[in-house]
Structure formats: C-alpha cells, structure tokens
Homo-oligomer: A and B are copies of this chain.
Amino acid sequence: MSVFNFDIIAESTTTRARAGVIQTARGKVETPVFMPVGTLGTVKSLTPDELTSAGAQIILGNTYHLYLRPGCDVIEQFDGLHKFISWKGPILTDSGGFQVFSLAKLANITEEGVTFQSHIDGSRHLLTPEKAIDIQTCLGSDIIMCLDNCIQHPASHAQTRQALEITSRWAKRCKVAWQAGVNGHNAIFGIVQGGMFKDLREASSEALIAQDFNGFAIGGLSVGEPVETMLEIADFTLPKLPNEKPKYIMGTGTPEDLVELVALGADMFDCVLPTRNARNGQIFRQQGTLNISNAKYRHDTRPLETGCACYTCCNYSRAYLRHLFLAKELLAYRLNSLHNVYFFLNLMKQMREAILADDFESFRKDFYKTLNN
C-alpha cells in the first residue's frame, strides 16, 4: 500500500478552487502547489536550500533528460535522484513523453512504444510504457507519470483520437508495470490527452479513471493554443476527474493562468516560465512583468518588487541587477531566478490562504486590480 494520500481541507464556495494536502513518503505538499522544474537534476542556477527558503515543497525532474544525461546507471549509485541532487523533499518526474515528441529527433510510434534519437548525440532509444516506469522508479520519484502520446497543435480529431487511445493503452501498461515493481512508496498519475476536443478529453478521462490512478494530470495544454481555448478545455475536463484525487495541469503557466486554473479546481502546476524568463531578464511581479535590461532602471535603487520578501529583493536593487544582467554575470541569472521562483510560490501560497479563508473571489479581483494598475 502506498503512503500517498490526498486530503481536501477547504473548498471555495464561489469557485471550484480547493486547498489540500498531499502526503508523500518524503513529506507533505500543500495544494494548490507550483512545482519548480529541475530538468537535469537542478532547478537552473539554484540550490535546494534556496528553493526551500523560497517556499518550494516539491520539484519536478525530467525523465527524458535524466535518462540521456547522466543516465540511470549514475543515478542508481545514489539510490535515486534525491541524494544525487541533494533535495530531500518530494520529486515528481514526468514520463519523458512530452520531450520525446518535442525535443528528440525522428520520434516513431508503434503500439510497443516510441523510438527516438537523442537530441544530444543522435543515439537511438526505445521508450515503452514499462521502461518509462522503470526509469522513474530508478530515479526514486515520489510521483510517477504515465507515458503519454503527445501530439502537435493543431491536430485533427482523428489524429487526436488515435493518440489518446494509445495513451490509454499505455496508461494501463504503466499501471501494471508500477504495481509489479517493488514500490509502495510512490504514486502514479495518469495523463488525460484529447487535444482541443471536448469529446476526446471526456473519453480520455473515462479511460483513465477506470484504472484508478493516485492522481490525474491534464497534458497537451499550453502547446500553442489561445489562452481562452486552454481555459475552456481545462474548465471542461477538470470536473470530469474525481474530486478526491489531485488534479495536475502540466506545463502551465503564467500567473494569470495559475489563478484561473486554480479557480477551475486544479491543484498542481509546473512550468519553466519563472526560471527561463529570469534568464532572459523578465521579472514577474504583482504589478506585471518588468524587463531588467530596460535603461530606465539604470539608477533605480528600488528592489525588483517593493515589499517582496525574497532574498534578491531583500538585498539588491534594480540598478545592480540590471548591471549584472547587461554584463552577463552568472549572478544575474541566479538572483532573477530566485525572485521569479519565489513570486510563483508565493502566489500559490496567497491563493491557498484565500481558499482557506473562503475569500478566493476577492483575492482574484485584487490580483487583477494590482496587475492592471
């Protein structure tokens, strides 16, 4: 039996937002939660200590990347990713599906799995549902994701149906492989596909629910569709998933997306936005983003965001951060990332507090008021 558990402790009476607690073998996660992305075993430029200080409870590792580099043979030496990267909290790993279809070359699908060429050295690999579970088990992941067949956007109804049907059959094989393993310490989540078609999202949800996963993710969103479409599909799909299970929207999104998706009942999120944009000089703030390279910050002695309690804002000015960024100093990427990650984590915390106080609607109003001021 898995130690994994999910309890809802508060629900908004005016939206579908809810606050919960996920229990894992490596500790609790309070939801709604944002998971910083540690693609290659590092949330780019930051240490685990900094992530913890910023409020991170759980991070994400990418199976595709870690399988190719450094490889499972290395991570096995450390009994998994946690000890290898020195992160003590829970880790969720994706299945590699998304990267195989977006990053790798010549991905070729059969019923068995997907063959692809590494984007690093062109070496050929076969990723099957069973292998995706094996790799994630080797990584010591606390939340394992099923292998899914991700498609390009836009895609036809027929293509999308075919992909979701393979995804459903692979999910079944993933569950079997996971159950056959020695693990009782982790959880397995299914991934709903179905593109931008509601009937297919419904069919995918039903197929996965029948297999009783520990949680359910919605994949294939934020792939280039308009925000309205993304929200419409999430709005349609989230209620189809069992309320007593965590609901995870993969690879999303902007602060506005997160607020809207929490309102629609989503519990978990991951996105490279805070770290990637930090490295490009874009800073997230309640008042909206700023680009630190802008000449108007040359003499600006204020922190990135007035009132922000992050390490960067407590110690550094816009003028200094602009100087570091223009000089391409490594510290720039780090201090910007620290602020952005803190901003995302703090936004989730604020939403959770609003849900606990059953005050989510006024939080949302204030959020947009500050943003557009």
Contact = CB atoms under 8 A, between A and B. Distances in A.
A323 interface: yes
A276 to B, nearest CB: 12
Interface stretch (A72-80, A217-225, A230-238, A348-356): A72-80
A40 interface: yes
A315 interface: yes
Interface residues of A, number: 35
Given A77-B319, A86-B315, A298-B74, A42 B329 contact: yes
Given A327-B69, A330-B334, A78 B301 contact: yes
A214 to B, nearest CB: 29
Contacts of A309: none
A96 B316 CA distance: 26
A69 B319 contact: no
A42 B331 CA distance: 7
Interface string A295-319: 0001101000000000000011101
A211 B78 CA distance: 61
A316 to B, nearest CB: 6
B44 A331 contact: yes
Given A41-B324, A86-B316, 8 more contacts: A40-B324, A41-B320, A74-B323, A77-B299, A77-B301, A78-B301, A86-B320, A334-B334
Given A69-B327, A324-B42, A327-B69, A74 B319 contact: yes
Contacts of A42: 324, 329, 331
A333 interface: yes
A106 interface: no
A280 interface: no
A85 interface: yes
A45 interface: yes
Contact of A327 (B40, B315, B333): B40
A47 interface: yes
A290 interface: no
A46 interface: yes
A84 interface: yes
A70 interface: yes
The residue in A44, A47, A301 that gathers the most chain B C-beta atoms within 10 A of its C-beta is: A47
A126 interface: no
A302 to B, nearest CB: 11
Contacts of A331: 42, 44-47
A330 B40 contact: no
A329 to B, nearest CB: 5
A326 interface: yes
B329 A330 contact: no
Nearest to A330: B45
B330 A330 contact: yes
Contacts of A70: 298, 319, 322-323, 326
A44 B324 CA distance: 10
A320 B85 contact: yes
B78 A323 contact: no
A334 B77 contact: no
Nearest to A316: B86
Contacts of A74: 298-299, 319, 323
A193 to B, nearest CB: 30
Interface in A266-310: 298-299, 301
A328 B241 CA distance: 40
19 contacts: A40-B324, A40-B327, A40-B329, A44-B330, A44-B331, A45-B330, A45-B331, A47-B315, A70-B326, A74-B319, A74-B323, A77-B319, A84-B319, A84-B320, A85-B320, A330-B330, A330-B333, A330-B334, A334-B334
